[in-house]
Structure 1
Amino acid sequence: MVHLAEQHFGTFNNEPVRKFTWSTDTGFSVSVISYGAIIQSIKVPAKNGEIKDVVLGFDTIEDYVTKNARFFGSTIGRCANRIRGGTFQLDGVTYQLAKNNGENHLHGGIVGFNKVNWNSTVDGTKVIFSYYSKDGEEGYPGDMIANVIYEVVDNSLLVEFLAVTHKKTIINMTNHSYFNLAGHDAGADGLYDHIITVNADRVTETSADNIPTGRLLKVGGTPFDLRAPVRLGDVLVLHERLFDHNFCVSPTGEELNFVSRVVHPSSGRYLQVYSNQPGVQVYTSYFLPAPQDQPIVGKQGTPYHRHAAFCLETQVYPDAVNHPHFPTVILKPGDVYRHKVRYEFGVTN
């Protein structure tokens, strides 16, 4: 049985921020907030029954507004990941986006979908967030209506991203949750013990500033070969900056392709991800503060440092609009952008 409750989570720009929490009889629960359409908490029982919150984040709206430069739990849009030079062309017209990652555009710009308070409605056990993005916002063409639909079924969180536009534009939404199945407060020691599998035989090659070159590289014989289970610590001790790469998901013939399985053996908690998107950004939070630096202070005063968590951001490939042979991010009037992802949690025996 799934129960859905609503709470007040403060205010943003004099508007109420709403918090919605699903809870199940097994102890599994998920909380989302209307600001940034953010996943604020996911609590999962271990094999010994201990319940832990397994996503990084904050306890107050003030902290999300002032501290969330690393996008904890955020809905990302219009376009996730990087766009080279912050520029692209559609039908011969050049569009200049905000440059907020050196000379490049990242995660929707300076004020992306993660920094607005979404309208919210409840439909049974679904929460539907909606946002009207105006033509020219952050440089993107077209008036756009975007939706994020959250629902909990059994021990799974289902997310659907939808968008329509009145003018040809680009769209590549995702969720940027940081997971640590040992608990959000377990840090790098907890992360290193995770065992990861990713259903991908290629990655997008990138330049020094993480922009795709256009080449797709086979993972065989490289640290990117996660087709068989790999302990994260065994990879990260040799390659500290791995991972922050787009993996090209191998199709399985299902509506939602199997993307990844991550297991934390000592707690027994696991996460399996399924999606209809062609790629997934695997990221192990290298760009959180180094151990010797001032941490980001998160929930319950927890210090978040480098390698505190992993991300599995289902998406179209980065900078796809500038690589015609990549899957497309172009959305035309009359078409509907639809991105589905399922986060399935459980425990091993």
Structure 2
Amino acid sequence: MRKVSRLLGAVAFLAAVQLANGAAIAGEASRAPAGKLADGTAIEAITLKNSHGVSATILTYGATLQTMVAPDRAGKPTDILLGYDKLDGYVEQPNYFGVTVGRYANRISGGRFTLDGKAYQLPLNDKVNSLHGGEKGFDKVAWSVRSLKSGPSASVVLSYKSADGEQGYPGALDVTVTYALDEQGALTISFDATTDKPTVVNMTNHALFNLAGGGTAENHVLTIPAKAYTPVNDKLIPTGELRAVEGTVFDFRAPHALVPGIRDGRDEQIRFGHGYDHNYALDKGATAKPELAARLEDPASGRVLEVLTTEPGVQFYTGNFLDGTYVGKGGALYRMGDGIALEPQKFPDAPNQPKFLSARVDPGKPYHHVMVYKVSVAK
């Protein structure tokens, strides 16, 4: 009996060790070919998985979050991102689906800013403004895989060297983007950059979410903990004002659906943006660690997305320029309201807005932004 008891004890011990080891390496990171660019550059797809059915696939082209799969309340996994099935779509019909945007996310008025008395001109790729880093921003270049790790948090580190003067921006910039998926369903994205001369940097991810996995997202329920937003002019450039959300269609301090506000033409700001395309001044401001910027829920599937950030703002965009000409995953024609972007950031046009938190980055003072997409199921 003692031998049996000792044997059972040993089996239990080994099982415990295996369970512990299994938990320790539950996150899996893998890589696979994803195609080639016209110049022959090979692009890879990096897939991060946890043991609860959550996964994320990242393309080295544009450091792009191509897919994010999450289970619903019945346990059924679904890709909750708009985008394309293959690399060609991101190259031939770019619409910022899931890409890393930079050097400067969002708009810079007239594509101009001044730094230490010197004026800089950027490409005007948004009519009269520069948008998301210019004609060939970080979303349209090939990134290198610096490291790939499996473990409690599966991760990949991507790097890119942006030359001095690229797209009109001063300073040679060494940039890394780290994607890390943990067992709690949190995909953490860390942006880091160093420069050899003063410049401006504002990076984020431009994923458009549909927590239902298809159809309209207009019935999703949104919460944004912000009592003010930055209204824009008819060129979608902030006026410099911080306007109270109270009593307007921009008030998401309490959770409610996007409709009917998304189409409320009585509000001039909705007319300017063709829907929601506005930056919120988060109550938390800039923080050392990521804090809540937005919470999105699909009542039908039960899926919940929480967005956290260290930055002071979040751009809320409802895919207003999707007009049925973009053929996305599975042959779906994307239209306004089919996807929702919640882009943590510094405020738009901050280099020209002295009242906004500065986007300046200097040698010896690196840029650092941490944001999180955390998926779960409503109880």
Please report the TM-score for the alignment, with normalisation by the length of structure 2.
0.87
Say which of 114, 126, 133 aligns to 1:89.
114
Aligned residue number for residue 145 of structure 1: 174
More strand by share: 1
Question: Counterparts in 2 of 1:4-15, with a 5 A limit?
Answer: 4-12=29-37, 13-15=39-41
CA contact (8 A) 1:120 1:127 kept: yes
Aligned residue number for residue 325 of structure 2: 295
Shift of 1:51: 1.2
Say which of 101, 108, 129 aligns to 1:104.
129
Aligned residue number for residue 307 of structure 2: 273
1:226-270 per-position Cα deviation (integer Å, ceiling 9, x unaligned): 000011123224356331000001118772121111110110000
Count of aligned pairs: 340
Shift of 1:295: 2.5
1:254-313 per-position Cα deviation (integer Å, ceiling 9, x unaligned): 721211111101100000011000000000111111xxxx43111121111111110000
Aligned letter for 1:78? R
Shift of 1:175: 0.5
Q: Any idea what SS the aligned residue of 2:241 has?
A: strand
Measured in 1, the distance between the counterparts of 2:248 and 2:111 equals 30
1:193-229 per-position Cα deviation (integer Å, ceiling 9, x unaligned): 2000001111112101110111111111111110000
Aligned residue number for residue 81 of structure 2: 55
Measured in 2, the distance between the counterparts of 1:123 and 1:43 equals 20
Aligned residue number for residue 311 of structure 1: 341
1:139-193 per-position Cα deviation (integer Å, ceiling 9, x unaligned): 000111111000101211000000110010000011000000000xx222xx122
CA contact (8 A) 2:278 2:316 kept: yes
Shift of 1:62: 1.4
User: Which has the greater radius of gyration?
Assistant: 2
CA contact (8 A) 1:168 1:330 kept: yes
Aligned residue number for residue 170 of structure 1: 200
CA contact (8 A) 1:79 1:107 kept: yes
Aligned residue number for residue 212 of structure 1: 238
Aligned residue number for residue 103 of structure 2: 78
Say which of 215, 238, 243 aligns to 2:276.
243
Say which of 288, 312, 318 aligns to 1:284.
318
Between the aligned residues of both structures, percent identity stands at: 39
CA contact (8 A) 2:48 2:155 kept: no
Aligned residue number for residue 69 of structure 2: 43
Structure 2 residue runs without a partner (length 5+): 1-25
CA RMSD of aligned residues (A): 1.3
Shift of 1:123: 4.1
Instruction: Tell me: CA distance 1:248–1:206, structure 2 relative to 1, closer, same or farther (3 Å).
Output: same
